[in-house]
Structure 1
Amino acid sequence: MTQLKPVRAFGSYRWLVVVLLFLAMIINYVDRQTLGILKSTISADLHWSNSDYANVHLLFQGAYAVCYLLWGRLVDRIGARWGFALAFGIWSVAQFATSAARGIGHFMVARFALGIGESGAFPGSIKAVSEWFPQKERALANGLFNAGTNIGAIVTPLIIPAVVLSYGWQMAFVVTGLAGLIWLPIWLLLYRHPQDVKGISQAELDWIQQDPVTPITRIGWRKLLRLRQTWTYATAKFMTDPIFGMYLVWLPDFLGKRFHLDLKNFGPPLIVIYLLSDFGSVLGGWLSSHLLKRGWSVNRARKTTLLICALCATPVMFAAYAENVWVAVAIIGLAAAAHQGFSANLYALPSDLLPRGGVGSVVGIGGMLGACGGMLMSKYTGWTLDADRGYAPIFLIASCAYLCALLVIHLFSPRMEPAELIDDSTAIS
């Protein structure tokens, strides 16, 4: 059998798909992080405590947890194109609704709606990558689109303070909601399944479809929940998702309390942190894809990259003791980069371990558990800070999470073997 050679990356349609996903993640994380940037401003205006703020974020995470599971199943049924479009529309409307919130109850409802919509972003994105990329390129594609989350985190402290200082905090949510309404019609116009795109070359289509094809089109919930491959991914998400969520939501508060930075001057430190995390996302995805192309097994390539990332996250335990803001930024930036490199490879596991018909559902299960972990982390963070214990115990948890997650991955899937399934097209869902 003749070995396929990759088509040229420049001008290839599958990379246009990554660009669309990358832009979507920028908008997703701008919308998500806006409230974190405005914590001090809104808390002062509406007289919130740390626990009040944690509870508002908790409602977002609760909706995110439950609906992540549902979106995973939905995108398996209706595909990435319409599943992602629906999710995007819901979270854009929710962002507008946040601008009209006045009391903490209103904020909770608006953020709950935002969680419903935003929970569809990663199931839709990973489903799209599984449709458009062969196994050896998926971690790189995941790393590239996931880099958009860091760009979103960089853009937010650049744009939001300027909008707030000129027009008030309500306008910040209006501006970010409008961005989603620009992206949505472009997605619907350009995204199709590879076989349905008229402009794609046969060489690229052959490259995309080079992996062995499984006849399985549907996998029931009961069967998925019995598979150790499902729990390999889901448990690792439970352990690591809360850490980056903590960085997004609480870093402005940490910089303010530790180094007396505010809305006008915490932008540059946050930008550096998320630039570093962007680098980690792309490098982590590239490394395992590079190792696979050099002939390494999936098991060895993924776990080696995960181990490197996990080790790079451990120094963050010292961030709370840093005396200089840029020392803290370097430590947290390394940890954020490690998280994103870890995540780029973690997102590849569902398509490594399961047929495409179950990828979205397993991503949904993992995302639900990740959001549940985030809820616990959010409550713990608010409680710890209100008890005047500071950020040291929070960063200690962040330093250990990735090595623990890698241990779980290895115990559940020591050889990274794909699930062996028979046709389940009649399974109850």
Structure 2
Amino acid sequence: MSNLQMETKRSQLPLESKGKVRWTVVFWLLVGGMINYFDRANLAIAAPEMMKELNLTNTDIGLLGTVFSWTYAMMQLPSGWLIDRFGTKRVYSIAVTWWSIATFLTGACNKMSTLIATRVLLGIGEAPCFPTSAKVTSYWFPKKERGLATGIWDSSSKWGPALAPPLLTMIMLAYGWRALFYVTGAIGIVFVLFFLVYYRNPEKSRRLSKEEMEYIRSDGAGAEHNIRDSKVKWRDLFKYRSVWGMILGFFCTIWTWNIFLTFLPLYLKETQHITLAQMGIYSSIPWIGGIIGNITGGYITKKMADKGLASPIAAKRAVICTSAILAAISIVFVPFVNSLGITVALLTMALGFISAITGSAWALAGDIAPASMVASVGAIQNFGGYFGGAFSPLATGMIADATGSYALAFISGGIIAGCAALCYGFIVKEPIEEPR
């Protein structure tokens, strides 16, 4: 390589990192995501007591999970467009308020029809959460750091279920299952008030130094981009091969993810014969593996990009494909072990690898999409995951009721998770280029 080429390549790289204000933004996204997942995970914790009081079956609990996921999936498409059109802060604040009210109302339900209605409302409200986080990350972080930043805030989807079992089980044992929904709903309202007062985009931040802003801007970040400024039409996003690879790959991931989210506590209780109090502890352990997987996967992609081992896109695809294969192996073995310790270990490993996929996949949206359409592409990917994955809780519940075992659900779920490697490895290739 000539000296001129080396200088040109060096000039295209982001400047050295300056300042840490951008990392405080990850805190807002992390806390918001944790609350989001508290409000999903509370159903899994409350399920045993709800089934007794309201005469619900495994299929009913699975149906509630499916109703939420399907609504959540369908609302991804308009939510991504709304975020790109009206801005992150406005849409996110409305969304948190909406889903918090839906959560609170769940505690007042006495029959299946009203439970279904509140799960629909919850799915509508929660849909903008993670597309907003992807968009905010594209404002605040250069591409080489987005994998790590996304891994941190996406770990919220594991912090929530990790903390929820012990905390919410204690509340349920003391005050009943309805209190879970009242408490988690109120927490969301408090959070959104603080978010409205303190969060700012980088161009409006008073704390951001000139040096850090220059660093952020060195790789295309630093300003809010509106979908009205894009030369790519929203509907045309579905014409791109990489977008379809993301849709199919995320479906393979979320299919298995939803099994864990809806049935993990019940699975441990029914197969390992643990008590309700023990369920709160053992159900949280696998999600700790998810947290580690999220952050580690993001860290690996950053290091690969820093050292020039791969482009930001290639680094994320490598982590996703490797994690998908390892997740498949871990999940398929779960039904074949009887020891509580080995079962929890395998579930922990599986969630660690699944989480490395989700974190890198959300970060990938910022690399594949034009700056003005990051939320839209991220939401479309999430739509693919939850539209298809919405049916896995229902299928799992039906399998458990029909066969008296979760084995078939875990074996098929592991195989499907492994297929994510094919989708991200062979279909997702190039970023979307704006027409000139």
Q: State the TM-score bracket (shorter-chain normalisation).
A: over 0.9
State the 1:212 CA deviation: 4.7
- For residues 279-290 of structure 1, the aligned pairs below 5 Å read 279-290=292-303
1:240 to 223, 232, 253: 253
State the 1:3 CA deviation: 5.4
Name the counterpart of 1:409.
Answer: 424
Whether the 8 Å CA contact 1:194–1:205 is kept in 2: the answer is: yes
Does 256-265 or 394-403 show the bigger shift? Answer: 394-403
Name the counterpart of 2:387.
Answer: 372
**1:263-314 CA distance string (max 9 Å, x none):** 2111222222111111011000110111001112234322321233123212
Name the counterpart of 1:134.
Answer: 142
Q: Residues 321 and 3 (structure 1 numbering): CA distance in 2 closer, same or farther, change over 3 Å?
A: closer
Does 303-312 or 118-127 show the bigger shift? Answer: 303-312
Tell me the distance in 2 between the aligned counterparts of 1:260 and 1:390. Answer: 14
The count of residues paired between Structure 1 and Structure 2 equals 419
TM-score relative to the length of structure 2: 0.92
1:391 to 389, 394, 406: 406
State the 1:101 CA deviation: 0.5
Tell me the distance in 2 between the aligned counterparts of 1:272 and 1:367. Answer: 26
**1:219-274 CA distance string (max 9 Å, x none):** 32321111112212111111111211210110111101101123211122222211
Is 1:46 aligned with 2:60? Answer: no
Is 1:27 aligned with 2:45? Answer: no
Tell me the distance in 2 between the aligned counterparts of 1:183 and 1:174. Answer: 15
| SS of corresponding position for 2:67 | helix
Give the partner amino acid of 1:297: S
Tell me the distance in 2 between the aligned counterparts of 1:40 and 1:2. Answer: 56
Name the counterpart of 1:6.
Answer: 16
Give the partner amino acid of 1:380: A
| SS of corresponding position for 2:432 | coil
- For residues 134-283 of structure 1, the aligned pairs below 5 Å read 134-212=142-220, 217-218=229-230, 219-283=232-296
1:117 to 122, 125, 128: 125
Give the partner amino acid of 1:193: N
Whether the 8 Å CA contact 2:255–2:389 is kept in 1: the answer is: yes
Tell me the distance in 2 between the aligned counterparts of 1:242 and 1:262. Answer: 28
| SS of corresponding position for 1:387 | helix
State the 1:110 CA deviation: 0.8
Tell me the distance in 1 between the aligned counterparts of 2:170 and 2:397. Answer: 28
Whether the 8 Å CA contact 2:18–2:211 is kept in 1: the answer is: no
Tell me the distance in 2 between the aligned counterparts of 1:393 and 1:275. Answer: 25
Whether the 8 Å CA contact 1:269–1:326 is kept in 2: the answer is: no
Is 1:422 aligned with 2:427? Answer: no
Tell me the distance in 2 between the aligned counterparts of 1:141 and 1:13. Answer: 13
Q: Residues 101 and 312 (structure 1 numbering): CA distance in 2 closer, same or farther, change over 3 Å?
A: same
Tell me the distance in 2 between the aligned counterparts of 1:371 and 1:403. Answer: 17
Q: Residues 130 and 110 (structure 1 numbering): CA distance in 2 closer, same or farther, change over 3 Å?
A: same
Moved runs in structure 1, 4+ residues, more than 4 A? 212-216
Tell me the distance in 2 between the aligned counterparts of 1:332 and 1:297. Answer: 31
Name the counterpart of 1:301.
Answer: 315
Tell me the distance in 2 between the aligned counterparts of 1:208 and 1:8. Answer: 9
State the 1:2 CA deviation: 8.2
Does 330-339 or 399-408 show the bigger shift? Answer: 399-408
Tell me the distance in 1 between the aligned counterparts of 2:226 and 2:85. Answer: 16
Unmatched 5+ stretches in structure 1: 424-429
Is 1:312 aligned with 2:320? Answer: no
Whether the 8 Å CA contact 1:6–1:204 is kept in 2: the answer is: no
Tell me the distance in 1 between the aligned counterparts of 2:331 and 2:404. Answer: 17
Whether the 8 Å CA contact 2:246–2:423 is kept in 1: the answer is: no
Whether the 8 Å CA contact 2:85–2:226 is kept in 1: the answer is: no
**1:197-234 CA distance string (max 9 Å, x none):** 12201111111111258998333232111111221211
Tell me the distance in 1 between the aligned counterparts of 2:28 and 2:56. Answer: 37
- For residues 45-124 of structure 1, the aligned pairs below 5 Å read 45-124=53-132
Does 288-297 or 57-66 show the bigger shift? Answer: 57-66
Give the partner amino acid of 2:160: G
Does 58-67 or 306-315 show the bigger shift? Answer: 306-315
Unmatched 5+ stretches in structure 2: 1-10
Q: Residues 197 and 396 (structure 1 numbering): CA distance in 2 closer, same or farther, change over 3 Å?
A: same
Does 200-209 or 382-391 show the bigger shift? Answer: 382-391
TM-score relative to the length of structure 1: 0.93
Whether the 8 Å CA contact 1:277–1:339 is kept in 2: the answer is: yes
| SS of corresponding position for 1:276 | helix
Q: Residues 215 and 16 (structure 1 numbering): CA distance in 2 closer, same or farther, change over 3 Å?
A: closer
Name the counterpart of 2:5.
Answer: none
TM-align CA RMSD: 1.8
Whether the 8 Å CA contact 1:134–1:210 is kept in 2: the answer is: yes
State the 1:49 CA deviation: 1.2
Whether the 8 Å CA contact 2:151–2:298 is kept in 1: the answer is: yes
Whether the 8 Å CA contact 2:143–2:312 is kept in 1: the answer is: no
2:367 to 343, 352, 367: 352
